[in-house]
Structure 1
Amino acid sequence: MAAGEKARAKVEQAVGKAAQAAGRVTGSTKLVMKGRAAEALGNAREGKESLKKTGRR
């Protein structure tokens, strides 16, 4: 995995989890959903990079 893409995926996942937690505390469903979307984007990016790495072997 390219270090930059891996870091970007981890940041997106962390931001998503933080947004979800903030949304739960404040009762904001919209913020929880935005957090889930950001986390899913990070998971997808990480999966894409893993597939690229597997294809290089």
Structure 2
Amino acid sequence: MQFNKMKCTQLVTVIVLTFCAFAVNAEKSHVPAPMNKDQVDGRIDEAEGKVKEATGVILDDKKMQTEGNVQKNVGKAQKGYGDLKQDIEQGK
């Protein structure tokens, strides 16, 4: 695995675009009630997993790519659990 200037530029681009996408989605979404801890932790894990997965693709590191995919999916599951918990608390 060779780390050169082009791969570094691609990595930085992926990270910046990822955070821009989250900012746009956060601005568009309207959450009527504050999020619970599971929702927050799940969204953070999902974002970290996406970045790690993209980094693994850019660096051609299959292990990092797989770890990122797993972390992303665990975050999605935790976020879903938090959403369900909030719906139950709100009586939906």
Give me the whole-angstrom Cα distance separating, in 2, the residues matched to 1:11 and 1:29: 22
Structure 2, unaligned runs of 5 or more: 1-34
Aligned to 2:58: 25
After TM superposition, list the pairs within 5 Å mapping 1:4-19 onto structure 2. Answer: 4-19=37-52
**Does residue 52 in structure 1 map to residue 61 in structure 2?**
no
> Quick check: which has more Rg, 1 or 2?
2
Give me the whole-angstrom Cα distance separating, in 2, the residues matched to 1:8 and 1:27: 28
Give me the whole-angstrom Cα distance separating, in 1, the residues matched to 2:40 and 2:87: 18
Pairwise CA distance, 1:54: 2.2
Pairwise CA distance, 1:6: 2.0
* TM-score, structure 1 normalization: 0.84
Identity in percent:
23
**Does residue 41 in structure 1 map to residue 74 in structure 2?**
yes
Pairwise CA distance, 1:52: 1.4
Identify which of structures 1 and 2 has the higher relative contact order when contacts are C-alpha pairs closer than 8 Å and 6+ apart. Answer: 1
Give me the whole-angstrom Cα distance separating, in 2, the residues matched to 1:52 and 1:6: 9
One-letter identity of the residue aligned with 2:38: E
Please give the root-mean-square deviation of Cα atoms over the aligned residues, in Å: 1.2
Structure 1, unaligned runs of 5 or more: none
Give me the whole-angstrom Cα distance separating, in 2, the residues matched to 1:20 and 1:27: 10
